[in-house]
Amino acid sequence: MDKLVVVVVDDDESVRESLPDLLKEFGFAVLTFSSAEEFLASGSTARTSCLVLDIAMPGMNGLDLQKELKGRGDKIPIIFITGKRDESIRKRVLEQGAVDILFKPFSDTALRQALHKAMGSD
Partner 1 sequence: MAAQSEGSAEEIKGLRRCINDLVSMLALPAAWMGGEPLRIMGNLLDALLSMLSLDFLYVRLKNTADAATGEMVRISPTWAVKPGPQEMGERLRTSVDDDFQESPLLLSNFFVEGDITLVPLRLGLHDDLGIIIAGSRRSDFPQQTERLLLNVAANEAAVWLREASLLSEERRVSSELDRRVAQRTADLAAINDELQREIAERKSAEEKFLREETELKRSQAHKAAILDSSLDCIVAMDHQGCITEFNPAAERVFGYKRENVLGKPLAHVLIPPSLRQQHHLGFAHHLATGESRVLGKRLEMTALCADGREIPVEIAIARIQQDGPPSFTGYLRDITARKQNEDALLEAHTRLAQSEERWRSVFESSAIGVALADLEGRFIATNPVFQKMLGYTEQEFEQLHFLDITVEEDRDLNSALVADLLDGKRREFEIEKQYRRKNGSLVSVRNSVSVVSGSDRVPRFLLALSEDVTRRHLAEAALDKARSELAHVARVTALSALTASIAHEVNQPLSGIVTNASTCLRMLDADPPNVEGARETARRTIRDGNRASDVITRLRALFGKKSTPFELFDLNEAAQEVIALSVSELQRNRVTLQSNLATDLPSVLGDRIQVQQVILNLIRNGLDAMSTVEDRQRELLVMTERDEGGGARLSVTDSGVGIDPQIEEKLFEPFHTTKGDGMGIGLSVSRSIMESHQGRLWAARNEGPGATFSFVLPSSTNT
Q: Which member of 59, 67, 97, 116 binds partner 1 (CB under 8 A)?
A: 59
Using the rule CB under 8 A, is 15 a contact of partner 1? yes
Q: Please give the backbone phi and psi of residue 97, each rounded to the nearest 5 degrees, phi first.
A: 105, 5
Of positions 5, 12, 29, 119, contacts partner 1 by CB under 8 A: 12
Rounded Cα gap, residues 111 and 64, in angstroms: 22
Q: Which is nearer to partner 1, 18 or 113 (CB)?
A: 18
44: left (phi over 0), alpha (psi -120 to 50) or beta: alpha
Contact of 48 with 75, CB cutoff 8 Å: no
Pick the stretch among 40-48, 57-65, 67-75, 89-97 that binds partner 1 (CB under 8 A): 57-65
Binding mask 79-118 for partner 1 (x = CB under 8 A): --x-xxx-----------------xxxxxx----------
**The dihedral sign for the CA sequence 36, 37, 39, 40:** positive
Q: For residues 78 and 111, what is the distance between their CA atoms, to the nearest angstrom?
A: 12
Q: Based on CB atoms, which residue is closest to partner 1, 57 or 98?
A: 57
- Interacting residue ranges for partner 1, rule: CB under 8 A: 11-12, 14-15, 17-19, 21-22, 25, 56-59, 81, 83-85, 103-108
